[in-house]
Amino acid sequence: MHTVVVGTSGVTASDVIAVARGGARVELSAEAVAALAESRGIVDALAAKPEPVYGVSTGFGALATRHISPELRDRLQRNIVRSHAAGMGPRVEREVVRALMFLRLKTVCSGRTGVRPEVARTMAAVLNAGITPVVHEYGSLGCSGDLAPLSHCALALMGEGEAEGPDGGVRPAGELLAEHGIRPLELREKEGLALLNGTDGMLGMLVMALADLDLLYTSADVTAALSLEALLGTDKVLAPELHAIRPHPGQAASAANMLAVLRGSGLTGHHQDDAPRVQDAYSVRCAPQVAGAGRDTLAHARLVAERELASAVDNPVVLPDGRVESNGNFHGAPVAYVLDFLAIAVADLASITERRTDRLLDKNRSHGLPPFLADDAGVDSGLMIAQYTQAALVGELKRLAVPASADSIPSSAMQEDHVSMGWSAARKLRTAVDNLARVVAIELYAATRAVELREGLTPAPATRAVVEAVRKAGVGGPGPDRHLAPDLAAADAFVRDGRLVAAVEAVTGPLS
């Protein structure tokens, strides 16, 4: 099994994916263990002094003015975890919780949080045992970190609350820890607070969304090319020299992908035949511009994620010179903004995708294709309602594009008077990514059927490879009406697991 070693300098996106989705084992580097011990020594020294230090010998948030006596400090750390584990609603996905815990471990191992090495070892042991704390949908405002979600994870480390075992069953966390020989944590000064104060949930969801969207944007380039081909459009608009004079890198990449798919097509260039047209519609002609802008948005979001992956987010933090200082680095604004930005780009990509599908189905605009790509129009409805489904998904995506980060609800008696809503932005982006895959799958379904209906014309080699692969995957071709939902589900799986892109790349070589 793959192993990820966590040091003091952060982790990579591929590390997060490996642990969250691939079940990779986690180990602590010797450097991380040494840094943990060193910073813990600083916290222990401060705890022994009579002067109050925030997070070490005081209350938290609006209660930070109270000095906590030594005999109450362990209780304080337990209480902050118990009281903050106040989430409600459905369970969050296993991969999100694993990403959340792993990224908190990443910050702990930086040596900037002041916790004991024992805390980090226990976190790694829980991940390696496949124990996943139960975390709920609602409870984070994205400021002071993802407090409630992280608290439910910390509660499990203490042997309290519920968790999912490696077999998928939900049981008391204490039972699961005991079965795997993991001793529950007994928290000391600052450790409860250090386990809660991070942007780890929203960051983990951002990292996974970026991985998913990398595949979906390439998939959308492929389906856009198939639709252009099925509509007998022109590929001249994809020429590199046209995109070089507006040098957005994402635009050039999408145009290159489409051109690669269309190479050798006998369907393109017929726009001057029976019903001459000077230009293709915007949804066809501007596909690289729209998808390319989304690609550039992905690049910006990836930069933000990389910076956050290299960060140590906690409050207070132990600085290299030994100072323990309060700060505002737990505020989720940098991550929240790009999560919302991605939701906007996803909605627009889905919107232009649906317009191409609608064009394929409309006999007045499809340049010779049968109405709704039906076998016997009137008796058969063809793909009419598949487009309804796609339109409903796009409508939902537009609602999901409303930014969460534009909102703020004050909390903690106005001490935390401006929050990021980054967790909410991340949750809705996950839904948006799922729906984009469905929208692209419906275009794939329509475009492959339309290409097959162009009798007497030979599609591009890459297109033929896609049609062959998608039919083998259980997605039916032209013919009389049948139950469409299974076909659509098969097309969705074909897009989502990368088989669409793989079918093309077997002919074209790697796409961007």
Write out the catalytic residue numbers.
Answer: 54
Q: How many CB atoms lie within 10 A of CB 408?
A: 15
Look up residue 331 and give its amino acid: H
By CB atoms closer than 10 A (0-12, 13-18, 19+), residue 239 is: exposed
Residue 492: what are its φ and ψ, rounded to 5°? -60, -50
Q: How many CB atoms lie within 10 A of CB 270?
A: 18
Q: Which residues contact 410 (CB under 8 A, 6 or more apart)?
A: 416, 417, 418, 419
Nearest residue to 192 (alpha-carbon basis) of 84, 89, 275, 267? 84
Residue 170: what are its φ and ψ, rounded to 5°? -95, 125
Using alpha carbons, list the distances in angstroms from residue 336 to 102, 103, 454, 488.
Answer: 20, 17, 46, 32
DSSP designation for 184:
P
Look up residue 445 and give its amino acid: Y
CB of 68 within 8 A of CB of 193?
A: no
d(CA 371, CA 381): 8
d(CA 490, CA 499): 11
**Paired residues of 28 in beta bridges:** 6
**Paired residues of 4 in beta bridges:** 26
453, HSE (Cβ side, Cα atoms, 13 Å): 28
Q: Which residues contact 126 (CB under 8 A, 6 or more apart)?
A: 101, 156, 157, 177, 182
| Three-class SS of 45-82 | HHHCCCCCCCCCCECCHHHCCCECCHHHHHHHHHHHHH
Decide the pairing of beta strands 170-172 and 162-164: antiparallel
Look up residue 291 and give its amino acid: A
d(CA 428, CA 402): 10
Q: At what angle do helices 249-262 and 499-508 cross, to 10 degrees?
A: 70
